[in-house]
Amino acid sequence: MARNLVTSEGLINAYSFPASDGNAGETFKTDGAGAVTWVKDSTSDLYTGEVSNLGITYASNTFTITSAGGTALSATNYGTVVLPSKTPGLLKQITISADQSFIDDGAASTIINNYFGMGIGVTAASAFKMPFYIYAVINDAETAVSFMVSRVPSKTTSPITANIGKTGSASAVSNVQSTFFALGDPTITDYDENPCLAIGSFTMKLTAVEPNPDWTVQTLTNADGIGMFNEETEFSMNPETFGAPANSFFLGGTTQPTWTANYTYNYFISLRGMVKLRIYIGSSPAADGVGAATLFWTLPYATVSGITHGNANLVTETTPVAGTSAINLNISSANASMGYVNTTTSTTSAGNDVHAVDFTAANFVSFGSSTEYKMNDTDV
């Protein structure tokens, strides 16, 4: 029924109000054309990770968090996100009324000089894309959210100030894999060490290396977006990373064997920060190594307990044990052998986990291994 809304100052407008009084806890909702109805108060059913009217776009080398329909966020076309409050056990629903974005290496980059742990020892641009995770980070006053991106998916608290870069700053950010990069130009001290929540993902390639690392967003797929985390995406490890020479995934030895074809080193990432590796070599090396050495796989992420991406600190013995990436390899002899671990068992015995592998062209057949580990998501 139509009713006039009257105040002590007189008639101000005409609205169509519901005839009934509604139910306890319900509020008015208008359709913008004068019709008012009763609706349930949405703030009474909040849950962590609830996101509404948010999406991502990539166009003209600009990555943007915008509305779910792709039109600009505004006071009337706003998004919301529910994330943990600074008071443990409570939740906050934050409204976002403006887009946040950055420009990548294909134009006047605003993400340049952010390492994301891909600094020292990374001497070649990426051949393959890497996953990046979109975070909502609450401010000190719990009134606003800054969207940030990171290579790690499992953070619940944003990093310290020194480990957060932003669009408005061209200064270098420390070479830590759990660093964040803020879209837009927020005051970082308002957002450091505050509750945060991963709400989506996308992928990028490292397209320029130190001393000025830079990144290029990859074409969006159905595995990308808000509420999507690329957990079923198989990523490929980039050779010549973390100290490995060209066409190699190994550290150690003076001259290593290298491969240019018929090898794969793939990995999956879970939201818990677990990394599952699958390694396969199906042909003899393109170039033989020299001498005998204990080699180590380079890893796509540093592991827990301060273990780095791939060096002698990964193990203290030369015999492989479950969970390590040590390889005992005579890298030039016709009698070369490689010890590797299939983590379905915890022992190393002939014919089970340790296999003789001859890397000469005449005798090599194949080599494969798999393992899973927890990445390091701390500020070190």
- Is residue 295 predicted with pLDDT exceeding 70? no
Q: Which residues contact 292 (CB under 8 A, 6 or more apart)?
A: 329, 330, 331, 332, 333
Delimit the domains of the chain by residue range: 1-42, 46-230, 234-380
The DSSP letter of residue 2 is E
Q: Looking at the DSSP assignment, which residues form a beta bridge with residue 140? A: none
Cα 296 to Cα 259: distance, rounded to the nearest angstrom: 16
Gyration radius of the chain's alpha carbons: 26
Pair of tokens at residue 341: 């671990």
Residue 341 in contact with residue 353, Cβ under 8 Å? yes
Amino acid at 171: S
Instruction: Read off φ and ψ for residue 285, nearest 5 degrees.
Output: -60, 150
- The pairing of beta strand 62-66 with beta strand 367-374: unpaired
Q: Which of 2-16, 17-31, 360-374 has the lowest mean pLDDT?
A: 2-16
Cα 345 to Cα 14: distance, rounded to the nearest angstrom: 75
Cα 233 to Cα 133: distance, rounded to the nearest angstrom: 13
Whole-model pTM?
0.78
Comparing 24 with 29, the larger pLDDT belongs to 29
Cα 334 to Cα 4: distance, rounded to the nearest angstrom: 95
Q: Which of 202-206, 207-211, 293-297, 346-350 has the lowest mean pLDDT?
A: 346-350
| Residue 211 preceded by cis peptide, ω within 30 | yes
Mean pLDDT calculated for residue range 124-130: 88
Cα 54 to Cα 303: distance, rounded to the nearest angstrom: 32
pLDDT band at 174 (very low <50, low <70, confident <90, very high): confident
Position 169 scores a pLDDT of 62
Average pLDDT, the chain: 76
∠ CA 351-239-307 to the nearest 5 degrees?
A: 70
Residue 203 in contact with residue 224, Cβ under 8 Å? yes
Cα 104 to Cα 202: distance, rounded to the nearest angstrom: 13
Q: Which of 31-45, 108-122, 298-312 has the lowest mean pLDDT?
A: 298-312
Position 20 scores a pLDDT of 76
Residue 94 in contact with residue 144, Cβ under 8 Å? yes
Across 74-78, 245-249, 332-336, which has the greatest mean pLDDT? 74-78
pLDDT band at 88 (very low <50, low <70, confident <90, very high): very high
Q: What letters, b where the CB count within 10 A reaches 16 and e where it falls short, cover 224-252?
A: bbbebbbeebebebbbbbbbbeebbbbbb
CA distances 332 to 116, 178, 287, 357, Å, are 36, 38, 10, 12
Amino acid at 63: F
pLDDT band at 342 (very low <50, low <70, confident <90, very high): very low
Q: Looking at the DSSP assignment, which residues form a beta bridge with residue 226? A: 200
Pair of tokens at residue 295: 């080699």
Instruction: Read off φ and ψ for residue 137, nearest 5 degrees.
Output: -120, 125
Cα 359 to Cα 380: distance, rounded to the nearest angstrom: 38
∠ CA 285-345-274 to the nearest 5 degrees?
A: 75
Residue 305 region by backbone torsions, left for phi larger than 0, else alpha for psi between -120 and 50, else beta: left
